[in-house]
């Protein structure tokens, strides 16, 4: 597949997944969302480097657009869903920190020890929960 066609395919999938994640955050109970995120993978893809790069690029690109403007949790859910679809074990993490006297929450996705989506902002956060991961 040519790079231009791959780019379009990943962007289309990311747009759909981010939209579905935004709807899920709004209308689905959190217990169901996180139970889904914690399910084990059916199959495992062992060498996912190229896929993970494309997925993180596509989700960050789509979520940052003005018409989408997705926050960290829908971004992390969309990334986790796209990785799961390809059999790539990832971990959806939730953390908190105290900023100017109030609690602030953040969500990010890790593969191994590497933060692929939401990682730049996650440095000051204390991880409270992690869903998914290597079997």
* Residue range 1-60, pLDDT digits in tens: 688 898 999 999 999 999 999 999 999 999 999 999 999 888 887 666 688 889 999 999
User: Contact 91/118 with Cβ under 8 angstroms?
Assistant: no
Residue that the structure tokens 């902002």 belong to: 121
- Class of the 3-132 domain? alpha beta
- Whole-model pTM: value is 0.90
Q: CA–CA separation, 134 vs 78, rounded Å?
A: 18
User: Contact 76/107 with Cβ under 8 angstroms?
Assistant: yes
User: Contact 72/118 with Cβ under 8 angstroms?
Assistant: yes
Q: CA–CA separation, 73 vs 120, rounded Å?
A: 14
Q: CA–CA separation, 29 vs 121, rounded Å?
A: 26
* Residue range 44-93, pLDDT digits in tens: 876 666 888 899 999 999 988 888 888 899 999 999 999 999 988 899 99
**Domain spans of the chain?**
3-132
User: Contact 35/78 with Cβ under 8 angstroms?
Assistant: no
């Amino acid at each position: 597949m040519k790079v231009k066609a791959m780019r379009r395919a990943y962007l289309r999938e990311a747009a759909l997944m981010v939209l579905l994640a935004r709807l899920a955050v709004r209308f689905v109970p959190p217990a169901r969302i996180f139970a889904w995120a914690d399910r084990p993978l059916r199959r495992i893809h062992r060498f996912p480097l190229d896929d993970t790069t494309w997925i993180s690029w596509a989700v960050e690109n789509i979520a940052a657009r003005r018409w989408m403007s997705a926050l960290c949790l829908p971004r992390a859910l969309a990334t986790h869903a796209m990785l799961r679809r390809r059999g790539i074990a990832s971990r959806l993490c939730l953390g908190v920190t105290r900023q100017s006297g109030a609690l602030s929450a953040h969500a990010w996705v890790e593969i191994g020890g590497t933060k692929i989506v939401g990682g730049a902002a996650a440095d000051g956060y204390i991880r409270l929960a992690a869903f998914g991961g290597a079997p």
